[in-house]
């Protein structure tokens, strides 16, 4: 259980600090989804 919480925490931290390359890859793959649910995407 501790591992799962730790993993979730690390994922959140990682998402907040995306490198330029990672961000471009994410936007390239999820561009449409991001535009559609921009608000919901940001809340998560």
- Residue 26: inside a domain, yes or no? yes
32 inside domain? yes
Let me know if residue 7 belongs to a domain: no
What is the sign of the dihedral through the CA atoms of 7, 9, 40 and 19?
negative
In a domain, 28, yes or no: yes
CA-CA distance, 36 to 39, in Å (whole number)? 9
The model's pLDDT over 2-42, given as tens digits with 9 standing for 90+, comes to 676 766 666 555 556 778 888 888 777 766 665 666 566 55
**Which residue range(s) make up the domain with 25?**
18-44
Give, for 7, the enclosing helix (H) or strand (E).
Answer: helix 2-16
In the prediction, which pLDDT does 43 show? 53
CB 18 within 8 A of CB 26: yes
Running DSSP on this structure, what letter comes out for residue 2? H
pLDDT at 17: 73
Query: What pLDDT was estimated at residue 20?
Result: 84
């Amino acid at each position: 259980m501790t591992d799962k919480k730790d993993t979730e925490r690390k994922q959140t931290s990682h998402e907040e600090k995306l490198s330029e390359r990672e961000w471009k890859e994410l936007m390239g793959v999820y561009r449409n989804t991001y535009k559609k649910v921009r608000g919901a995407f940001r809340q998560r």
